[in-house]
Structure 1
């Protein structure tokens, strides 16, 4: 019952992370591409035409954290990718135990990140902090980071409960 619920929630979290990561990555590529072309025009016209996107570096830098966390969450669907000389020689039970130990560490790391980003979200909300260029509320960014870290923790928990030691490069 508990494992089935964790699996169901983790599947939703993986899907959400994959969609969020894809949207953010697509947006990042578009912003960088447009800015590169705009910079070429800017230089070719001797600074007369400036089509660069305001705050592009800021946008991309904040989205990069979301993309990294979303990618890590979504990538756990098929187990961890490992280059292991020793673990591959273990019996299947030993491989499962090593994998579960690894995912326990991932759960702990993700929960610590969730807590830290949540605390930053509360602190930046209380102070009313905004981003430097675009004046976006910082608590929204930290809130997304906290949500992605929580998604990572849930997916890693599912792997702790269900992992058989299979590796992503073998499936």
Structure 2
């Protein structure tokens, strides 16, 4: 069971890293293209007037996807351990506390998922579109909802690993 949870979490993390990487590369490409075309416009004193339409919208949605995917990909590394409070605790207890902490992230992922899913359905139903590019908002919210779901699922997987298999984790680290 533990191996299955670890493998599932590993493959979900790889998928999330891919999404985050693609979103960041696209974000950089849009930003570089926008800055370059603005500079070209100034350099040629308006002779060449190329523009990247909706660059602010594109960057904001790509940043949303990159952040959600990166959070989901690295959820098991997210806890800041305060040595003053956890210094004297046994490793088993530290892993269990980390598991409880990750249950909060699982709840956060679920709340974000259901909220964004509701927003996606409402946006689709009402025909809501973005301001500059006139893209439908439903799919944008839906992708964000799925990434939030991945955050919740990976958090839950690691919470279970931390709370249920803390003894095995301690043994495996001792080898």
TM-score under structure 2 normalisation?
A: 0.85
SS of residue in 2 equivalent to 1:130: coil
1:114 maps to which residue?
113
In the alignment, the residues of structure 2 paired with residue 27 and residue 100 of structure 1 have an alpha-carbon distance, to the nearest angstrom, of 34
Moved more, 64-73 or 41-50: 41-50
Moved more, 85-94 or 20-29: 85-94
- 2:29 pairs with 1:24: no
| Residues 60-115 of structure 1 deviation map (CA, whole Å, 9 limit, x = unaligned) | 101111100000111135x3352412123311122112201110100011100000
| Residues 113-157 of structure 1 deviation map (CA, whole Å, 9 limit, x = unaligned) | 000000000000000111111111100110000000000111001
**Structure with bigger RCO (C-alpha 8 Å, 6+ apart):** 1
SS of residue in 1 equivalent to 2:87: helix
- 2:80 pairs with 1:82: yes
Q: How does 1:55-134 map to 2 (within 5 A)?
A: 55-77=54-76, 79-85=77-83, 86-134=85-133
1:158 maps to which residue?
157
Aligned-pair RMSD on alpha carbons?
1.8
TM-score under structure 1 normalisation?
A: 0.87
1:50 maps to which residue?
49
Structure 1: segments with no counterpart, 5+ residues: 167-171
In the alignment, the residues of structure 2 paired with residue 4 and residue 121 of structure 1 have an alpha-carbon distance, to the nearest angstrom, of 35
1:110–1:152: 8 Å Cα contact kept in structure 2?
yes
Q: How many residues align?
A: 163
Q: Which is higher, the Rg of structure 1 or of structure 2?
A: 2
In the alignment, the residues of structure 1 paired with residue 13 and residue 74 of structure 2 have an alpha-carbon distance, to the nearest angstrom, of 8
1:14–1:74: 8 Å Cα contact kept in structure 2?
yes
SS of residue in 2 equivalent to 1:89: coil
Structure 2: segments with no counterpart, 5+ residues: 170-175
